[in-house]
Amino acid sequence: MSRDLIGKGAIVLLALPALLLPALVLGYIAHKGVAAVSWQFLFDTSQGIGAQLSGSLLLALGACLLAAPLALGTALYHRLLASPRQRRLLDLLLQMLQGIPPIVFGLCGLVVFVHLLQWGVSLASGAVVLAMVILPMLVLNTIAALARIPAEYGEAAQSLGLGHGAVIGRVWLRLAWRPLVTGLLLGTARALSETAPILFTATVFSGVVWPASIFEPVTTLQTHIFYLAQEGSDPRAIQTAWGSALVLIAVVAACGLAARLLRKVGYT
């Protein structure tokens, strides 16, 4: 018995850094951030981070609006129309896309959208780049959600004479909407937390409250933290950075929590 205690003690000791350090870091961010956060800080566009918060949300919303129909269509094609060979090819291409680091999406966006298509550093460029970042996770999530629906449901509907459209709308989407929304929430969280893809494609340091068109740049919470962190000489800038970090974590965690609750409720 005591031998077991030694083994377990050693494991706990080895695990301590992984158990304690993240908690300490989170605590430190909360401690530093709380001092900066107030209603004015959250919503004011000159004293606070109202403009940055709305810019982040706009980009994430744009990315989801672009990626969601594409992801649903791709997953339905995968389930309904694809031959086994096309299915394997699609899986392979999506896995490759999923492995691409965020900064490479940023590079590609800079080359293609900012320069080649002349959209400039803009909301549009950033939204398309972020849509590319979250596309593979959305498609793979939707494929998995559709795969969990028993095949008989679709077959039964088809035997009643329903076409593909009716099977999708009346059977599948009704059964699978929870996991689909869960995936979309996780995609939103991902789009909100990425910095590298939008650094050169969508954002400026300051001076934008609300973009006049989708071809105007925005300011975002992520890049705001990034720029402020490097303003070493100004303690107020650093405090704002900690406050922004806390708000960003809260928004991302809220998406994650909503996704978790929805997943827990389960099917139908």
Partner 1 sequence: MLRLWLTTSALLSGATIVLLLGFLIHASWPLLQSQGLAFASGSEWYPYEGLFGLLPALAGSLWAITLALLLAVPAAVAAAVVSAELWPRRGGTPLRFAMELMAGIPSVVYGLVGLWLLLPLLEGGFDLLTGRSLLAAGLLLALMIMPTIMLFTDDALRAVPQERREAALSLGLSWAALLWRVILPEAWPGIRIAILLALGRAMGETVAVMLVVGSIDRLPDPIYDLLQPAQTLTSRIGREMAEAAAGSLHWAALISGGLVLALLSITLSLLAQRRRAG
* Cα–Cα distance, 179 to 266 (Å, whole number): 8
Among 40, 73, 170, 234, binds partner 1 (CB under 8 A): 73
150 binds partner 1 (CB under 8 A): no
CB 205, min distance to partner 1, A: 11
Cβ neighbours around 240 below 10 Å, total: 22
| Region 183-212 residues binding partner 1, contact defined as CB under 8 A | 189, 192-196, 199-200
Q: What is the DSSP string of 112-139?
A: IIIIIS---SSHHHHHHHHHHHHHHHHH
H/E stretch holding 180 reads helix 173-193
Mapping DSSP to helix (H, G, I), strand (E, B) and coil, where does residue 62 land?
A: helix
Tally of residues, the chain: 268
Q: How far is the CB of 147 from partner 1 (least distance, A)?
A: 15
Separation of alpha carbons 229 and 103, rounded Å = 19
Task: At 64, list the tokens.
Answer: 């989801």
Q: What is the rounded distance in angstroms from the CA atom of residue 5 to the CA atom of residue 209?
A: 60
Is residue 86 within 8 A of residue 247, CB to CB? The reply is no
Token pair for 129: 């780049």
User: Interaction with partner 1 in 44-63: which residues (CB under 8 A)?
Assistant: none
* Stretch 101-140 residues interacting with partner 1 (CB under 8 A): 101-108, 110-112, 115-116, 132, 135, 139
Q: Does 262 bind partner 1 (CB under 8 A)?
A: no
Q: Which CB, 74 or 219, lies closer to partner 1? A: 74
* Closer CB to partner 1, 6 or 160, in the complex: 6
Between 78 and 125, whose beta carbon lies closer to partner 1?
78
27 binds partner 1 (CB under 8 A): no
Phi/psi at 17 (5° precision): -60, -40
Q: Collapsing DSSP states into helix, strand and coil, what is residue 218?
A: strand
> For partner 1, which stretch binds (CB under 8 A), given 24-32, 35-43, 146-154, 174-182?
24-32
Q: What residues between 217 and 236 interact with partner 1 by CB under 8 A? A: 222-223, 225-226, 229-230
Of 53, 59, 72, 175, which one interacts with partner 1 (CB under 8 A)? 72
Position among 34, 35, 42, 100 found at the interface with partner 1 (CB under 8 A): 100
- In the bound state with partner 1, the residue whose beta carbon lies nearer, of 212 and 233, is 233
